[in-house]
Amino acid sequence: MKKHTRNIPHASAGKAFLGVALLFLLATSVISSCRRAKPETSFTAEELAIINDTLRPLMKVYTIENESDSTLLRQVCEPFTAADIASAAYSTLAQRMVKTVTDSTVDGVGIAGPQVGILRQIVAVQRYDKEGFPFEVYPNISITARSEECESGREGCLSVPDRSGMVVRSQWVVINYTSPETLQQVQDTIKGYTARIFQHETDHLKGILYTDHLTE
């Protein structure tokens, strides 16, 4: 059986077909654009140059021994956007920070964004309170609560070479950060020596060095 078209004027049928075709093309274009579009990150060209510097196996650790480094270390850090954290640049930054702090020539227990020239709210911390003592990376981290009970302990810093001193820190802290997996806010309570590391590293994000807290 053939399709019956005798009762439809030829011109109207053409117009109807053309309209449907145009709507289809418009819808296809919108869908394709949505699929191609990616949220823009807020990384600067300077930050991306540091993050993607593949010629340098480890990231440069900024120290107070250099005047320009010292100035940068005293700056307050900015947060990441969700698009930043979901990007390849963030993943590369997190991996390179861990690779740097765990290298035998550095051998640290924590490192913060400004220490590698990135003025963003990010720290990598060795979790001595977890099995295997893994290093974990925390974007947009802040301490939202801390114990009144404190204790003194010796600290050093990758950005303050060949020095150490006694610093009073809270015995436990509550941290808030953005989960890189879900992009949701997460809270965690940290105790003991690991809490000290978190306090030291998050201080860096506010331009504070452990030497500002020395008790001796």
Query: Which sequence positions are flagged as catalytic?
Result: 201
CA dist 96 → 19, 138, 148 (Å): 54, 14, 35
Rounded Cα distance, 108 and 157, in Å: 8
3-state helix, strand, coil split of the chain in percent (to 5) is 40, 25, 40
DSSP state of 208: -
Rounded Cα distance, 135 and 196, in Å: 15
- Nearest-CA neighbor of 141 among 79, 69, 196? 79
* Cα end-to-end span (Å), the chain: 99
CB distance 43 to 51 below 8 Å: yes
* CA–CA gap between residue 141 and residue 5 (Å, rounded): 68
